[in-house]
Structure 1
């Protein structure tokens, strides 16, 4: 799956939960004030289910889930690690 496809799916997931909010791929969704810890866990579950990966504990950091760009990076890293393992 390409970076563009990953970004699109992540953006659609976030937009689906918060349709009233406009944001770009690099904006910190936590600093915008509409994301809480429960939604952060929803993001992790979304990533694992949508992209058929397991996010390891060392990737479960706020900075990895703060923007569409950072979430895309997590998916790419985890996917790459699972294909080389």
Structure 2
């Protein structure tokens, strides 16, 4: 059975392909610099993450570094889910250690 990170990565790559109308080359590609995400696409991404993973993306979470690559988004979602499961504060993922490495 694939890990939670692998499932989230697969889902994100499929979502981004739909939004960007092209495949992201790699999980560490910069989604904004590479043209995969626009500001509207970023809003769609936040809505997707909230609906798909049952997390709340708070204002303090809206740091581009949390959404710059698929790898960073996976880390963000896992941190938010972990904080939720542990009863942590909604913005706990924004301060997650590591800032993007798995």
Is the TM-score greater than 0.5?
A: yes
> Does residue 14 of the first structure (1) align with residue 24 of the second (2)?
no
- CA deviations 1:37-63 (Å, max 9, x no partner) are 111111111000000111122221111
How far has the Cα of 1:26 moved from its partner?
0.3
The CA RMSD measured in Å over matched residues stands at 1.5
Task: Check 1:22–1:6 CA distance in 2 against 1; reply closer, same or farther (3 A cut).
Answer: closer
- Length, aligned pairs only: 85
Instruction: Specify the alignment match of 1:74 in structure 2.
Output: 76
Q: Provide the residue aligned with 1:44 in structure 2.
A: 46
5+ residue gaps in structure 2?
88-102
Structure 1: tracts of 5 or more residues without a match: none
